[in-house]
Structure 1
Amino acid sequence: MSDLRDTIKQLNSARELALKDPALYPQIVSGVQAVIGPERPVELRRWGADFLAESFASPVVSAEEKQRMCLGMLDLLKSYLNRKEERGEEEDWNVVKSAVQCAASVYPLVFRHTISNADDKETWAKMASMKSSILRRMDTAPGSMRICCIKFVARVVQVQTPGLIADPRRPEQNETSLALVPRDHAIIPPSNLEAEASGLLDRLLGVLQDNIPDALIITATLNALSPLVAKRASISPKILSTVLSYNPLTLANAKMEGKDKIAIKSMTRTTMSFLNNVLKRTQHPALGPRIHQQVERLRHSLTEVFSDQNPLKRPAPDEPTDGLSDDKRQKLDRDAEAGTTPLQQQYPPLPPGPVSLAQLFTLTNDRAAAGFHVEAIPQHFVAQLVPPLLASIDPTQLDAAINVVRARYLEIQRQPPPTVVQTSGEEEDDDYDPMTGFGDAEQAANQIDQLPPLQGQPELAIASFHLPPPPPLTEHERAEYSETAKERLFGALQRLDDEARRQGKKQGVEREKGFNRLAATGGEDRDGWIALLTRLVTRPTFDVNQENDNIKQEGDERSLTKKGQGTIDLPKILREAFHRYIMDDWRRRIDVAIAWLNEEWYADRLLSKQREDEELSLPNYTHLTLSLLDSLIPYLDISDTRHLIRFLSEIPHLPTEIFSRIEKLALDPERVQLCTQTLLYLIMLRPPVREGAVDCAERIWRGNADARASVGGKILSKWRPDVLVEAEEGKLLGEGVKEEG
Structure 2
Amino acid sequence: MDSKNQLEQLKQAKSLAMNNHADQMLPKVLETTETLLVNALENNNNNPEDKECVNLTKFYVQLFSDLLNHPEIPTSELPFIAAKQIDTLSMICHLFKDPEILKISILTFSGIYPILIDLVAKTSNEKLWNTLQKFKKFITTRWKSYLVNGDSDSNNDLINDSKHIGCKLAIVKFMSQCIIVQTNKPQGQKDLALSKSNSPHGNYLYNINLSSIPDNHPVISDKQGLEAESKVLLGLLINYLIEEPMMVSSIFIGIINCLAFVMKERPQTTSRILSGLLKFNVDAKYQLDDTSAINYKLAKRYVERCYKNFVQFCVKNDLIKNSGSLAPFYSKLIKISQTLHIIGEETKGKGILNFDANQIENKINETEREKVLKYRLNIKQKYFNVNATTNSRGSSISTGSSTSNTTTNETPIPSSFDNQTQTLLNNLQNYAMSKNNVTGFFNTTPTARDNSYGAIFSLMNEVDSKQDLSQLPQDILSKLATEAIFKTTNTNLISGLSVVASRYTDLMAKQNSNNSNNKRKMENENKIDEQDNKKVKIEQVKNEENETKTEMIDELENDINEDFDVMKYLGKPKPMTSEYKLEMCKRIVKKIMALKENNLSPQLTGSNIESPLDQIKLLDWNNSKSWYHILIRLATRGTNVSQEISDMIREELLAYILTDFQKHISIVIEWLNEEWYSTYILKSDDSEVNNYEKWSLKILEDLVPFMENQHRRLFIRLMSELPRLEQAHFEKTKPILLDPGRSALGFQTLKFLIMFRAPVKDTIKVLLEEVLEQDSSLKEQIQPILEKYYTSA
Instruction: Identify the TM-score tier after normalising by the shorter chain.
Output: 0.3 to 0.5
Greater relative contact order, per chain length (Cα 8 Å cut-off, separation 6+): 2
TM-score by length of 2: 0.38
